[in-house]
Structure 1
């Protein structure tokens, strides 16, 4: 099934003509629980990974854990609407030792499936995203990994790695992505309205408009950030959201070139401020507003993943040389 974003509740460029110059395109991925295969673009599905190629591992020291959740029991509990039991860590497998830890696959995206996904180094057309299942240091930092490959070459492999190596337990239920199929859709977006992104006078007009909406329609009125600028959830390209950190300059550590946003991974596909972005296919046409939204937790958090304290994870790449190390920014 396709997913269709409703027209914006108002014409952004009619209210703020200056934003015409800032209009951009983003591809919403619309992940929904399903049964993706290794040759599909997905979140949480099997990776297209040749059998004889080493799986990525994290060699850093990890924070020691004492208990966790078995991946198979997480999936079983989700299917029944319950909660998985916690288990003690096996003594020979507890993180915090010097043994390498296999990364967990989060998503893979084929250029053939996802409009706006740029090719990687040397024309690679498949991007695979991984996360270390454990945290690092006192601040619970995470480690991510981006692997580019040419899909045609990978698909010719005689055997594929299935299942890949994984840790016996995960530190929390939301470390395990729910297998999701994607429904890519391109939409228009406009920048985050904060200093450093848009001119001060325009931001002041947007703030005044937001205040007027609240005065007229109450606390659940439309606002620019939530309803008109950038959609929530997983998306490719477009503009970064800066809800937690405020705008940041993201430059390449190797050559100082301003980096380009490749992917945003979001824990939530909708929230109280962004229900206007919910696709038409996930609405009951006989209702209006929030009451029309269907799907419950499967719509709000279809992938079951969380990034930081419910932030967006932005993946930036260097446009001058895609072989340079990407940057992973929580905002």
Structure 2
């Protein structure tokens, strides 16, 4: 089934004509629980990974844990609509002390499915995203891994890894992604309005409009950031959202070139402030507003993943040389 974003509740460029030159495009991925195959674009499904190639692992030390959740028990509990039981951590060592920790596959994206996906090194058109399942250090930092492939060459490999390695326990239930199929949809998007992301007079105009909306409509008021600029959830390209950190300069560590947004991984597809972006196919046409949203967690929290404290994970790559190291920003 396709997913169709409703028209914005106000015409962005009719309200703010000065935004027309800043209009961009993003591809909303609309993940929904399903049964993706290893040659599909997906979140949380099987990776197209050659059997002869070592699975990515984290070699760093990890934060000591006391209990966790077994991946298979998480899957069984989700299928039953229940919460998995927690288990004591085996032994006294921190995870990874007895060897490297396998990364968890988060997403696989083919450019054939998502034309807005930037190419990787040497024209690679398949991006695979991984995360270490355990936090690092006192600030619970995370480690990510981005692998690029030539889809055509990878498809001719022949034998693929059927069951990637897993840790026996995960610290949190939301470390395990729910397998989701994607429904890519391109939509217009506009920059986050704060600091120097737009000219100061335009940001002042947007802030004044937001104030008027809040004064006239109270808690149900429209706002530029929530309803008109950047959609929530998983998306490719477009502009980063900066709700938690404020705008940040993200430059390549190798050549200092300003980096471009490759991918945003969102913890949830909607919240109280962004429900206007929920697709028409996930609504009851006989109802209005938030009450019309159907599907429960399969629409609001389809991937079951979390990034920080309900932040977005922005993955940036270097436009001058896609082979330069990517950068990860929680915002």
> Structure 1 length as normaliser, TM-score?
0.98
Q: C-alpha displacement at 1:92, in angstroms?
A: 8.6
> Is 1:255 paired with 2:270?
no
> Is 1:188 paired with 2:188?
yes
Query: Is residue 4–residue 281 contact of structure 2 (8 Å, CA) maintained in 1?
Result: yes
Q: How does 1:80-99 map to 2 (within 5 A)?
A: 80-91=80-91, 94-97=94-97, 99=99
**Partner SS, residue 76 of structure 1:** helix
Query: Is residue 71–residue 169 contact of structure 1 (8 Å, CA) maintained in 2?
Result: yes
Q: C-alpha displacement at 1:205, in angstroms?
A: 1.1
Cα distance in 1 between the residues matched to 2:195 and 2:221: 23
Q: How does 1:212-291 map to 2 (within 5 A)?
A: 212-291=212-291
Cα distance in 2 between the residues matched to 1:170 and 1:236: 28
Q: How does 1:129-208 map to 2 (within 5 A)?
A: 129-208=129-208
Query: Is residue 62–residue 94 contact of structure 2 (8 Å, CA) maintained in 1?
Result: no
> Is 1:64 paired with 2:64?
yes
Residue of structure 2 in register with 1:329 after alignment: 329
Cα distance in 2 between the residues matched to 1:63 and 1:232: 31
**Partner SS, residue 219 of structure 2:** coil
Query: Is residue 64–residue 93 contact of structure 2 (8 Å, CA) maintained in 1?
Result: no
Cα distance in 1 between the residues matched to 2:92 and 2:166: 14
Q: C-alpha displacement at 1:196, in angstroms?
A: 1.2
Q: Which moved more, 1:125-134 or 1:205-214?
A: 205-214
Gaps of 5+ in 2: none
Q: C-alpha displacement at 1:93, in angstroms?
A: 7.7
The one-character-per-residue Cα deviations of 1:76-133 (angstroms, maximum 9, x if unpaired) are: 1111111100112233985151621111100000000012001111111100000000
> Structure 2 length as normaliser, TM-score?
0.98
Query: Is residue 73–residue 85 contact of structure 1 (8 Å, CA) maintained in 2?
Result: yes
Gaps of 5+ in 1: none
Q: How does 1:36-75 map to 2 (within 5 A)?
A: 36-75=36-75
Query: Is residue 115–residue 184 contact of structure 1 (8 Å, CA) maintained in 2?
Result: no
Residue of structure 2 in register with 1:310 after alignment: 310
Query: Is residue 119–residue 322 contact of structure 2 (8 Å, CA) maintained in 1?
Result: no
> Is 1:2 paired with 2:2?
yes
Cα distance in 2 between the residues matched to 1:76 and 1:327: 35
The one-character-per-residue Cα deviations of 1:135-190 (angstroms, maximum 9, x if unpaired) are: 10100000000000111111112211110111011000000000000000000001
**Partner SS, residue 261 of structure 1:** strand
Cα distance in 1 between the residues matched to 2:207 and 2:80: 45
Q: Which moved more, 1:213-222 or 1:30-39?
A: 213-222
Query: Is residue 249–residue 258 contact of structure 2 (8 Å, CA) maintained in 1?
Result: yes
Cα distance in 2 between the residues matched to 1:192 and 1:297: 27
The 4+ residue runs of structure 1 with deviation greater than 2 A are 89-94
Query: Is residue 61–residue 98 contact of structure 1 (8 Å, CA) maintained in 2?
Result: no
Cα distance in 2 between the residues matched to 1:201 and 1:219: 26
Cα distance in 2 between the residues matched to 1:215 and 1:66: 49
**Partner SS, residue 177 of structure 1:** coil
Query: Is residue 66–residue 88 contact of structure 2 (8 Å, CA) maintained in 1?
Result: yes
Cα distance in 2 between the residues matched to 1:90 and 1:40: 36
